[in-house]
Structure 1
Amino acid sequence: MSSSPITAVIDELAGQIPDRASSTGSVTDSEWTGLCEALAQVPDPRRRRGVRYPFAVILTIVVCAMVSGARSFAAIGEWVADLPADTRAGLGLTGRIPGPVTIWRVLVCVDRAALEAAIGAWIRARLDAVDTAAPRPTRRRRVRRVLAVDGKAMRATRHGTHPVHLLGVLDHARGVVLAQVDVDEKTNEIPLFSTALDQIPDLTDVLITVDAMHAQTAHADYPHARGAHLLVTVKRNQPTVHTRLKTLPWKDVPVGHTTTGRGHGRIETRTLKAVTVPAGLGFPHAAQAIQITRTSRPISNHPRDQHKHDFAMTLPRGDTT
């Protein structure tokens, strides 16, 4: 497949549903309708003269084809050609069907941001519908919703002239990307932090996890204003806060949690210590400090252990300073 940015975006959607890779008939009538309605919000960049196929219909068949396993323009064209006649008619394709060249011409000129927003809204609506339909147990322990904001480079475009880097919002429990934005080559993830989270309608009492790149004061203020919590890794890109975290009396803090895992040729043990910092850390809304100690040892009988300390802060939605 061509490594154009827009196909990389849709390929990211297809990756959200890997169990459908071998299925060609897994898109229901209700999903057709809902997806068409969502994609109808994407502006049509084509000139009116010579338009043969509805814009939303082309986007819908592309998304559904890729979710069903198509990974090239030719495969998408074949997937459309194999649709039952009544399904094509329900989409408004009563005559000729769009070929690979037509599909390519549409995808290279579509508004990526609008497409990402439309797909994200559709995914969130589908998840909400599943949650509503699922039977609820009589007694259920409250589980906090956790979202991760993180960037991802699209491997298919990494060596092209215009590599694609996406900043996504991942639901920890479901493993689904709820929203994402394209990171332009001339910038980085930092200014797009709030842009990505703006796509999530309600962040009340949600915990947001981010890496050290997002240890920015503006990033602390944004979730606080929306009633959310923030868990942020702190490294030496914030030297003052990092020093304050490092000099806390960790020897006097008991271990709160320990995990051990095996992978990548080593055995790794992680211990967590958490302490409340009533006076703050000179960082907006900071209320807790966490020390993560990682001890790794090669699985082979090598006597030497490697220790590494990492730090994080939690920034609850309530004022603590």
Structure 2
Amino acid sequence: MSAVSSSPIPSVLAKLGPLNPDDAADLRVFLETVPDPRSRRGRWYSLTSILLICAAAALSGAKTIDELAEWGARADAGLLTGLGVRRHLLNWRHAPSRSAIGRVLDRLDADALDAAVSAWLARRHADTAAPAGRRVIAVDGKALRGSARLDQPRRHLLSAVTHGLAVTLAQAEVGSKTNETRHFQSLLAPLDLDGDVLTFDALHSVKANVTWLVETKNAHYVAVIKPNQPTAWTQLDGLAWNAVKVQHTASNKGHGRRESRSIKTLAIADNLGGIAFPYAKLAIRVHRRRKATGMKETRETVYAVTSLDAHETKPADLSSHLRGHWTVEAQHHIRDRTFAEDASTVHSGNAPRAMATFRNLAVGALKTLGATNIAKTTRAIRDQPERALLILGITPKHDLNGT
């Protein structure tokens, strides 16, 4: 499975630019913090080497535990050396079996793995993201549909994902969608959110959580308000919106539909009663029009509030934040379509969550390098697998930056 150094570089990989492991944080350092669930007796492969094989295979598009093991089985001695697989007594190397990988993922400390991978991705995001402006982070959940069995419900994950590059900064298992709000604070507690803007849907527009976000984390929020907050929603709906001019409009086409959005904002004056939502400084009204091919036009009005003041943000920024929240949905789409997450039948122990973590790693790492088509990029890496090591900050046996 070794790539020939003189082989041409596919255009999707050329977009990533010259890959220098010295420019990327070494994933090994982060994975070494994950505790090994195995007993010391009988270990041949280090935990870090097994997890690195999983990470490299995910970057190559592996969808299942079988495919993780198959990637390792195809790897040559140079790749396995770079991934930390030691020699056997007969002076040869081979990758762990499917059952060995499956047992490790099943018993792994999933919180520790998520923390390690998220910390590595956060470093990558900090190294590549534009320095100007605030960091904007979406909080949203996703069900692992194929993980359900007759005796157990489907697994449900809650994640914090950056807008734009779709880098996962934190992920936790929450049991079910109705539990998401209870895990909001514990998910975000380890993160440095000073000055960041958090976006979330109406499910997470909970007063206790946004108060904690502003007072404890020194962060801002843009919260969608629906009738689940009846007092705040009624107050927003009753504001004098007709007296306010449209302050920003945007439109786009794609996926067989046209959509246009207009936004209005109003300052919320405490001395005039304010809004029954903590630290709300601006009221937001977004009017959306959508028309799918062959369908009637639909219209929707959405209300939101933000802790940002008028001098700290612009209507165009708020519109971008609200629309950008669906970056996390785009990431979910990639996990489902490119990595077949919804079709995955992995269900035992912590393996379903661990597989989702490696998918997050692949998407985030490739997005920070400028990949626009994850499916094509992973297929190209599969054909030139040593590039996966470079992306992970590991120096392979051969230099792939030449032609």
Whether these two folds match at TM > 0.5 is: yes
Q: Does 1:61 align with 2:59?
A: no
**SS, match of residue 199 in structure 2:** strand
Q: Provide the residue aligned with 2:111 in structure 1.
A: 113
Kindly tell me: are residues 78 and 28 of structure 1, through their superposed partners in 2, closer, same or farther at Cα, counting changes over 3 Å?
farther
Kindly tell me: are residues 182 and 30 of structure 1, through their superposed partners in 2, closer, same or farther at Cα, counting changes over 3 Å?
farther
8 Å CA contact 2:281–2:309 kept in 1: the answer is: no
8 Å CA contact 1:228–1:316 kept in 2: the answer is: no
8 Å CA contact 2:25–2:124 kept in 1: the answer is: no
Q: Does 1:221 align with 2:211?
A: yes
**SS, match of residue 279 in structure 2:** coil
Matches of 1:42 and 1:251 in 2, distance apart?
A: 56
String of CA shifts for 1:86-116, please: whole Å, max 9, x gaps. 4423414212531111111111111111111
Matches of 1:248 and 1:33 in 2, distance apart?
A: 50
Q: Provide the residue aligned with 1:208 in structure 2.
A: 198
Q: Provide the residue aligned with 1:12 in structure 2.
A: none
Counterpart residue type for residue 215 of structure 1: S
Q: Does 1:83 align with 2:81?
A: no
Q: Does 1:293 align with 2:287?
A: yes
Q: Provide the residue aligned with 2:64 in structure 1.
A: 72
Q: Provide the residue aligned with 1:3 in structure 2.
A: none
8 Å CA contact 1:223–1:317 kept in 2: the answer is: no
**SS, match of residue 108 in structure 1:** helix
Counterpart residue type for residue 230 of structure 1: Y
Counterpart residue type for residue 283 of structure 1: F
8 Å CA contact 2:25–2:120 kept in 1: the answer is: no
Gaps of 5+ in 2: 1-11, 89-93, 311-403
Matches of 2:143 and 2:238 in 1, distance apart?
A: 35
* Structure with more contact order per residue of length (Cα contacts < 8 Å, sep ≥ 6): 2
Q: TM-score, normalised by structure 2?
A: 0.64
More helix per residue:
2
8 Å CA contact 1:260–1:267 kept in 2: the answer is: yes
Report the more deviating stretch, 273-282 or 73-82: 73-82
8 Å CA contact 2:24–2:124 kept in 1: the answer is: no
Matches of 2:40 and 2:19 in 1, distance apart?
A: 30
String of CA shifts for 1:201-251, please: whole Å, max 9, x gaps. 2x2221111100011111211221222110000001111110011111111
Q: Provide the residue aligned with 1:175 in structure 2.
A: 166
User: Would you say how many aligned residue pairs link Structure 1 and Structure 2?
Assistant: 285
1:45-56 equivalence runs, <5 A = 45-56=37-48
Q: Provide the residue aligned with 1:251 in structure 2.
A: 242
Counterpart residue type for residue 125 of structure 1: R
Q: Does 1:284 align with 2:281?
A: no
8 Å CA contact 1:258–1:271 kept in 2: the answer is: yes
Counterpart residue type for residue 282 of structure 2: Q
String of CA shifts for 1:119-170, please: whole Å, max 9, x gaps. 1011112233345xxxx9xxx9x42221111112234436774422221111
Q: Provide the residue aligned with 1:23 in structure 2.
A: none
Matches of 1:32 and 1:144 in 2, distance apart?
A: 23
- Deviation of 1:76 (Å): 2.0
1:227-238 equivalence runs, <5 A = 227-238=218-229
- Deviation of 1:84 (Å): 3.1
- Deviation of 1:32 (Å): 10
Q: CA RMSD in A?
A: 3.0
Kindly tell me: are residues 172 and 197 of structure 1, through their superposed partners in 2, closer, same or farther at Cα, counting changes over 3 Å?
same
Q: Does 1:271 align with 2:262?
A: yes
Gaps of 5+ in 1: 1-18, 21-25
Q: TM-score, normalised by structure 1?
A: 0.79
Q: Provide the residue aligned with 1:103 in structure 2.
A: 101
String of CA shifts for 1:255-307, please: whole Å, max 9, x gaps. 1111223345543322111000012202110111001112334544x7x6543
8 Å CA contact 2:85–2:95 kept in 1: the answer is: no
8 Å CA contact 1:267–1:296 kept in 2: the answer is: yes
Matches of 2:77 and 2:214 in 1, distance apart?
A: 52
Q: Does 1:94 align with 2:87?
A: yes
Q: Provide the residue aligned with 1:197 in structure 2.
A: 188
More strand per residue:
1
Matches of 2:25 and 2:222 in 1, distance apart?
A: 38
8 Å CA contact 2:282–2:309 kept in 1: the answer is: no
**SS, match of residue 188 in structure 1:** helix
Counterpart residue type for residue 114 of structure 1: A
Matches of 1:32 and 1:162 in 2, distance apart?
A: 39
